[in-house]
Amino acid sequence: MNTQQNPATVRVPAHLARTVRQLYGQAGEVWLEALPDLVARLAKRWGIVVEPPFAGLSYNYVAPAVTASGEPAVLKAGVPNPELSAEIAALQHYAGRGAVRLLAADAEAGALLLERLLPGAMLVEEPDDDEATAIAAQVMAELWQPLPAGHRFPTIVDWARGLERLRPTFGGGTGPFPERIVALAEGLFVELLASEQEPVLLHGDLHHYNILRATRAPWLAIDPKGLAGERGFEVYAWLKNPLPAGPRGDLRRLLPRRLEIFAERLGLERRRLAAWGLAGLVLSGWWSYEERGSGWEPVLALAEALAAHL
């Protein structure tokens, strides 16, 4: 099998190029220019044929590939950064349990070779929200493993520090963010972190688009952030992706029902789940504001709705 990848055949989607330039500036421009050669080197090194990239890319170049033995795989490459390094470390620790298998990696190059999950349908395609939430709970339980000795994963404390940038940005106020909800999230982080239960390795971004159908297990997770922290924090990403709309739009029913399922299936305290969820949602909304200046409004609306369940 020919494992040479012609650099000229690598096409960088326009949206990916814009995002990389916006986030990384000159370093992103350098990475984009070097990407065709990087893909060619990885194809030769790992003995793979790389096909055209998937549609809808945002932060990383992700393309289907075929190994020398004919097995389907996925090549993922991004501007080298701590987040990609944490993803590699998390997948190495999971070793295929509850998550996609990591076949090879080069953290210095920001590159991963992954098994390709087939049929690969996302959990977002499940129309029954109760069933989807129950599946997510099962995947969470499989993923939550004791942290390896001497780990270097970021912690919830590290993530929560990001919220400390909000008030200085607005001269001590909260700008367009509701003061009551920001203050509530700040207080909840203090309360929850002071009483944090035994930390485990969390996925950190486990939502409907990051759980896929597979053949060796009914459902497996992809794209872990790799986060050290209490189990209950994991639910925040599930509450906002996808943002409730259509059949999922009834927040008065949806939020308490999801919390109920997670509490029952995972043996976690419902109020604490709601508290972690609200704090995480406000932090996520702030990140959206920092990155794009938009996209935070629906997330804060969810946080406000969740406040009724504390």
Please, which residues bridge with residue 72 across strands?
66
Q: The dihedral of CA 70, 74, 78, 81: what is its sign? A: negative
pLDDT at 140: 98
Is a pLDDT exceeding 70 seen at residue 3?
Answer: no
Q: Which residues are catalytic?
A: 205
Residue 6 has pLDDT above 70, yes or no: no
Report the pLDDT value the prediction gives residue 251, as an integer from 0 to 100.
74
Average pLDDT value over all residues in the chain:
94
Same domain, 103 and 127: no
Let me know: does 193 contact 206? Beta carbons within 8 Å.
no
- Of 99, 115, 131, the residue at which a domain comes to its end is 115
Asked if residue 257 is part of any domain, the answer here is yes
**Residue 210 is part of a domain; what is its CATH number?**
3.90.1200.10
Query: How far is residue 230's CA from residue 207's CA, in Å, rounded to a whole number?
Result: 17
Residues 83 and 15 in one domain: yes
Extended beta strands in the chain, E state = 48-50, 61-67, 72-77, 102-106, 111-115, 200-202, 211-213, 219-221, 227-229
Q: Which of 83, 115, 147 is the last residue of a domain?
A: 115
User: What 3-state class would DSSP assign to 168?
Assistant: helix
Tell me, yes or no, whether 59 lies in a domain: yes
For residues 174 and 301, membership in a common domain is answered with yes
**Contact at 8 Å (CB) between 265 and 137?**
yes
Q: How far apart are CA 202 and CA 226, in angstroms?
A: 6
Q: Is the pLDDT of residue 8 over 50?
A: no
Domain count, the chain: 2
Give 105's strand partners.
112
Which position has the token pair 């709601």?
Answer: 274
Instruction: For 202-239, write each residue's pLDDT tens digit.
Output: 999 999 999 999 999 999 999 999 999 999 999 999 99
The model's confidence at residue 252, banded by pLDDT at 50, 70 and 90, is confident
Mark whether 90 and 135 lie in a shared domain: no
**43 within domain boundaries:** yes
pTM: 0.93
Identity of residue 279: A
| pLDDT of 151 above 90 | yes
CATH code of the domain covering residue 21:
3.30.200.20
pLDDT value of residue 149: 93
- Judge if 24 and 87 occupy the same domain: yes
Q: Which of 57, 87, 115 is the last residue of a domain?
A: 115
Among residues 48, 47, 39, 45, which one has the least CA distance to residue 8?
39
Give the separation between CA 189 and CA 166, rounded to whole angstroms: 14
Q: Same domain, yes or no, for 46 and 163? A: no
Q: Which domain holds residue 241?
A: 123-309
Residue 253: the pLDDT is 82
Q: Judge whether 293 lies within some domain.
A: yes
Token output for 93: 């620790």
Q: Does residue 253 sit in the same domain as residue 269?
A: yes
Please write the tens of the pLDDT for every residue from 96-117: 999 999 999 999 999 999 999 9
| Residues 79-110: b if buried by 16+ CB within 10 A, e if exposed | bbeebbbbbbbbbebbeeebbbbbbbbbbebb
Q: What are phi and psi of 135, to 5 degrees?
A: -65, -45
Q: For the stretch 135-155, what's the b/e string if a residue is b when 16 or more beta carbons lie within 10 angstroms of its beta carbon? A: bbbbbbebbbeebeeebebbb
Name the 3-class secondary structure at 79.
coil
Residue 246: pLDDT above 80? no
Residues 64 and 144 in one domain: no
Alpha-carbon separation of residue 52 from 13, 55, 302 (angstroms): 10, 9, 37
* 133 within a domain of the structure (yes/no): yes
Q: Does residue 27 form part of some domain?
A: yes
| Same domain, residue pair 139 and 228 | yes
Contact, 286 vs 166, CB < 8 A?
yes
Answer yes or no: is 290 within a domain. yes
pLDDT at 222 (0 to 100): 98
**How far apart, in Å, do the first and last CA atoms of the chain sit?**
59
Alpha helices in 198-244 (DSSP H): 235-240
Residues 151 and 300 in one domain: yes
**How does residue 31 score in pLDDT terms, banded at 50, 70 and 90?**
very high
Q: In terms of domains, do 161 and 305 share one?
A: yes
Residue 251, classed as helix, strand or coil, is helix
Residue 192: closest CA among 247, 155, 165, 166: 155
Looking at the chain, the number of H-run helices and the number of E-run strands are: 11, 9
Tell me the pLDDT band of 89, cut-offs 50, 70 and 90: very high
Statement to judge: residues 160 and 286 lie in one domain: yes
Q: Is residue 1 one of the residues assigned to a domain?
A: no
Give SS3 for 257.
helix
Give the three-state DSSP class for 55. Answer: coil
